[in-house]
A and B are shown apart, each in its own frame.
Chain A
C-alpha cells in the first residue's frame, strides 16, 4: 500500500498508511485526528522541523507511530491523546547526531486506552540527548508500557526521563517502564529516571532501570571465538538496537535504519 503524504497543518485521517515529512511542514504546529475504528500506520521523519505534533486517536482505533531521528533535533514536542479502547504503538529509532531534545506526552484519557512505546537510542561522539516520555493514566483500565534500550559511548551523554502518572480514579490501570542503557567507556554518561507518580490504590505499576557497562562475560564469550573487542561490541550494539526495526513496516526504511546504526557504530 502506498503511503499518503500528510502535508496539511490540520488533518483528519482514517484507515491507511501515512507519511509525515517534518521538513515539508517546517516550523508548524501540526494536528492529526484519527477517526474512530481506524487502523493507521504513520511514519514520521525530520521531526525537528515541526514545532509541535498533536495527535488524537479516537475510539477503537489502532495506530502505529514510527519515527526516526537522524539529524540534530532541538526541542521537539509530541502530544498524543488516546481515547476509549484505542491503541497507540510507538517506535522511536534515535540515531540523531549532536543534540536531541524530545518531549513526548501520551494522555490515556478514556477507559481501555492503551500505549506501548519503544525507544532505541545510540548516543556517541559528544552527543547530548534528552528523551522525555511521559504517559498519563487519566481513566480506568488504561495500559501504558515504555521500553528504552540505549548504547552510550565516546563521550556521549544521555538522559532518559520516563514518567508514568496514574491519576486518582484510573483504577485497574497498569503502568510499566523498563530502561536499559549500556555505557561503553568512562567518558560517557547515561542517566535514567524511571518515575512513577501514583494517586490511586487499585492498580499495577512497575519500573526498572539499568545503567551499566558491557557485560564482561558476553565480551569474553565473543572474543574467545576470535572476534576483536571492537567487532564484539558492534555485534552487541547491533543486537541491542536492532529489535526497533520491528516497528517499521517497509524494507527500505528498515535498511535505512540499519545503515544509520552501522554508520554511528
Chain B
C-alpha cells in the first residue's frame, strides 16, 4: 500500500524547530488539502518528506510504502513514488529542460527510453498542459515566467507518474485558464489512483480537484483533520475560528534580518 505515515515528526532548520510533532496519514489514492497560516511549517513538512538537506529530523518517523524513508536518499524517495512540486522551482543555467526530463524518466527505467519515444511522450504532455514545446529545449526554469515554472512542475509530475504528489502552492502564478489545465492533469492522475497532498491558500484550486480531506497545520503540528468543509470555512472566515473554537493560539512568524558578509578581492599567488 502506498500510504504515507508520519508519526511525531520533529524537524529543525538552522537549529530552530519548525515541525513540533506532526502526525499525518495519507492513504493510497487520497487527495488531501494541507492548510495553515504562513510560516507554520507546511512547506517545511513537504520538504522534509522529500529529504531536503537543509532540514534536520530530530525525532519521529516517516513511512511510505511501508519503508522508513528517513533512511533513504532524495533520489531513492523519488523513485519510490514521491514527488514534490515546488513553490519556487530552481533555475539551473545551462541544464536543458528536456535533457533533465529524460534523465528523470530514465532514472526509473532499467533500459533507457529511446529518443523517439521520449519526445513522443514529451510532446503529448506539453500539449496537454498547453505549454509551448520550446520550453523543453530551454535551460531548466531559467527565464520562465512564474506560470511556466509551475506548468513545468506539473509536466514533470505527468512524466514521472508518482504514487503521491505533494504540490506546494502550485496554483500561485497561474491564471484561471492555466489553473484549469493543471487541475485537469491532477484529476486525470487522481483517476489513475495516484494520491495528492496539496498546499494552497485559495479555495479555487480545491474546488477544481475536490480533496477528500483537509488538514490544518498550526505551530508546527496538525491541529485539525476533517472533510472538505474545512477549506471552505477557512476560505470564507480565515483561521480565527481555530483560536475561538479549539483554543489554539496561533504563533506569529519570526522574521530575522539576513546576515550580510563582505568579502575582499583575491591576492596574487600561483598554484603550487
Q: A46 → chain B, closest Cβ, in Å?
A: 24
Residue from the list B92, B93, B267 in contact with A222, Cβ < 8 A: B92
A235-B104 CB under 8 A given contacts A224-B74, A225-B156, A226-B75: no
**CB pair B94 A224 closer than 8 Å:** no
Contact (Cβ within 8 A) A225 B78: yes
Q: A157 touches which one: B77, B92, B95, B271 (CB < 8 A)?
A: B271
Q: Does A217 contact B (CB under 8 A)?
A: yes
Q: How far is it, in angstroms, between the C-alpha of A220 and the C-alpha of B271 when the chains are bound?
A: 32
B234 in the interface (beta carbon within 8 A): no
**A73 CB-CB contact with B under 8 Å:** no
Most buried by A among B54, B77, B95, B140: B95
Contact with A along B53-66 (1 / 0, CB 8 A): 11000000000000
Chain A residues contacting B79 (CB-CB under 8 Å) are 226
Contact A231 B107, CB 8 Å, known A218-B92, A226-B160, A238-B94: yes
A221 touches B90 (CB 8 A): yes
Q: Which of A191, A194, A209, A222 has the most CB of B within 10 A?
A: A222
B23 interface residue per 8 A CB criterion: no
Of residues 226 through 248 on chain A, the ones whose CB sits less than 8 Å from some CB of chain B are 226-229, 231, 235-236, 238-243
Given contacts A222-B100, A226-B160, A235 and B270 within 8 Å (CB-CB): no
A221 and B107: CB pair below 8 A?
no
In the complex, chain A residues 197-236 whose Cβ is within 8 Å of any chain B Cβ: 207, 209, 215-218, 220-229, 231, 235-236
B residues in contact with A227, CB < 8 Å:
75, 100, 103-104, 107
User: Which of B92, B96, B103 contacts A221 (CB under 8 A)?
Assistant: B92
Say whether A195 faces chain B, with CB atoms less than 8 Å apart. yes
Q: Chain A, 79-92, contact with B by CB distance < 8 Å: what is the 0/1 string?
A: 00000000000000
When distances are taken between beta carbons in the complex, the residues of chain A under 8 Å from B267 are 193
CA distance A74 to B161 in the complex (A): 52
Residues of chain B within 8 A of A229, CB atoms compared: 73, 75
Is the pair B75, A130 in contact by a Cβ cutoff of 8 Å?
Answer: no
Does B268 touch A at the CB level, under 8 Å? yes
Q: Contacts A221-B89, A243-B94; is A159 near B271 (CB within 8 Å)?
A: yes
Q: How far is the CA of A171 from the CA of B78 in the complex (A)?
A: 57
* A193 to B95 Cα, complex, angstroms: 27
Q: Given A159-B271, A191-B266, A192-B266, does the pair A236, B92 have CB atoms closer than 8 Å?
A: yes
Chain A residues with CB below 8 A from B83, complex form: 224-225
Bitwise interface map of A from 130 to 171 toward B, beta carbon under 8 Å scored 1, else 0: 100000000000000000000000000111010000000000
Q: Is the CB of A239 within 8 A of B92?
A: yes
Bound form: Cα–Cα A222–B95 in Å: 10
Tell me if B256 is interfacial: C-beta within 8 Å of chain A. no
Residues of B within 8 A of A217 (CB): 90
- Is A128 located at the chain interface by the 8 A CB criterion? yes
Q: Does A110 contact B (CB under 8 A)?
A: no
Q: Is the CB of A226 within 8 A of B108?
A: yes
The answer to whether B107 touches A226, judged by C-beta atoms less than 8 angstroms apart, is yes
- A94 in the interface (beta carbon within 8 A): no
Chain A: CB-nearest residue to B141: A221
The reply on B99 being an interface residue by CB < 8 A is yes
The answer to whether A235 and B103 touch (CB under 8 A), given A192-B266, A209-B266, A216-B53, is yes
Task: Flag whether B52 is at the interface (Cβ < 8 A).
Answer: yes
Q: A97 an interface residue at 8 Å Cβ cutoff? A: no
Q: Which residues of the partner chain A approach B140 to less than 8 Å between Cβ atoms? A: 239
CB of A70 within 8 Å of the partner chain: no
Chain B residues within 8 Å of A, Cβ to Cβ: 50-54, 73-75, 77-79, 83-84, 86, 89-90, 92-96, 99-100, 103-104, 107-108, 139-140, 156, 160, 265-271
Question: 5 A-B Cβ contacts within 8 A?
Answer: A193-B268, A221-B92, A226-B75, A236-B92, A242-B94
Using a CB–CB distance below 8 Å, which chain A residues touch chain B? 128-130, 157-159, 161, 189, 191-195, 207, 209, 215-218, 220-229, 231, 235-236, 238-243
The 3 closest A-B pairs by CB, nearest first: A239-B94, A226-B107, A239-B95
